[in-house]
Structure 1
């Protein structure tokens, strides 16, 4: 990974819809050389996908709920069942297995408390859980999908 790859990634994180000619111009490469680098970054899995970021408020899912889940079961069968169940709930947009007191942390987006209650009821029917604690976000202070590029190893 060199300086040009970093520049390409920086530009694509800001706007992945850039035409290759514009991207190449911004990073100081020919379109062909730039395209080859983008292809290599995709092949290596550095670029996982190119997506559109949507506005949750305009799509009526502007309420964010952070859900901490604890379980008393830590076997492979439960784990598979839980992961499969959560993957069927579209309102769960992120799920992490955690260290510490919380086993899993989810980010859920819904239009309102009543919709979250439906997600909660669906969740507790799907898997044996010891505790579910929900916190509603009052204000979004920072949101980005851009990853820091300062830690990339030099090639």
Structure 2
């Protein structure tokens, strides 16, 4: 990956709706060369998807919750059941298996406290040992952009 690729990625991270022509012009490549690079980055899995980022508040999903989960069942059957439960809960945006005292960390969005209660009732179908939730009171920084600038040197 060279600086052309990194510059293309930086532009696409900020605005995936840019045309190939716009990107090519900004990175000083021909449209064809730029398009080939984008296709290669997609084939290699560097570009996973091109999506629209939605405003949760505008969709009545203004409460973000981080759910900490501990389990006392560290086996494949439980992990498969847990994965199946969370896969079918649309409010769940991200799930991470963690190191340390915490087994899993879940990020979800809901409309309000009753929405969280409905989410909680779905989650406990996975036979959880300990669940603790924290609610976002203020978003101080939020980005989907990976730090490519340090790679440009």
Task: State the Cα distance separating 1:148 from its structure 2 match.
Answer: 1.1
What root-mean-square deviation, in Å, do the aligned CA atoms of Structure 1 and Structure 2 show? 1.4
**1: CA distance, partners of 2:23 / 2:57:** 30
The count of residues paired between Structure 1 and Structure 2 equals 153
**2: CA distance, partners of 1:7 / 1:60:** 35
Q: Spell out the pairing of 1:4-153 with structure 2 (5 A cutoff).
A: 4-124=4-124, 126-150=125-149
* Structure 1 unmatched ranges of 5 or more: none
- TM-score, normalised on structure 2? 0.97
Task: State the Cα distance separating 1:114 from its structure 2 match.
Answer: 0.6
- TM-score, normalised on structure 1? 0.95
4+ runs of 1 displaced by more than 6 Å? none
**2: CA distance, partners of 1:127 / 1:153:** 44
**2: CA distance, partners of 1:147 / 1:39:** 19
Which has the larger share of helix?
2
- On the 8 A contact 2:67/2:134 being kept in 1, the answer is yes
* Structure 2 unmatched ranges of 5 or more: none
